[in-house]
Amino acid sequence: MTPIIIEIIRQKKIMFAVILLLFLLNAALIVLTSYYQSSELAVAQVKWSDLRRKNASAGHVDSSVLYRQGLSDLEKLKANIPAKHEFGRVLSELLEAASASGVTVGSITYKPTVIKEEGLLSYQLSFPVAGGYAAIKSYLADLQNNSGLLVIDDVVFSNSDPFVEKVVMDLHLTVYLRGGV
């Protein structure tokens, strides 16, 4: 080594000793931490894999049981579909729900379509509903809880005056009825 470096080390012995001690301590902590963390990480990965495996196997059901359950659910669904001659009652329920929610219904247009392969008749209804936001939200909740087979196809909201809470909702829905053949 050059005499200048040797002189610096001789004058700064304590500082170099502290730096060397910190370096060795740092290296020891890195080794200890990586050893500890790698073993803990391996344990955590094994636990996670076991939980995923248990969760995946818990959802598996025999296909014959699943098929029978599906058939049972389809029968329940078919039992909830009103007959074709009950269209007036279904329409009346929609209007009563609107009245109970405090919204006004505009003119209703409908288009019947026969679904031969299922023996169903579908009515595509379109009508505007006007009222406050809470009332329209309540009406949508009533439609969601309707006992028949009713599908909301499209909803468009508009408000012509930002200072008045009068929302107009253009509603397009499909009502399914039995006996469409």
pLDDT tens digits for 138-179?
A: 999 999 888 788 999 999 999 888 888 889 999 999 999 988
Token readout for 6 is 């040797």
Q: Say if CB 110 and CB 123 are below 8 A apart.
A: yes
The pLDDT tens digits of the residues spanning 49-91 come to: 988 888 777 666 677 888 888 899 988 888 888 888 888 899 9
Give the separation between CA 117 and CA 181, rounded to whole angstroms. Answer: 9
Query: Of 29, 173, 158, which Cα lies nearest the Cα of 98?
Result: 173
Token readout for 56 is 């995946």
pLDDT at 27: 92
Give the separation between CA 157 and CA 168, rounded to whole angstroms. Answer: 6
Which amino acid does the sequence have at 146? N
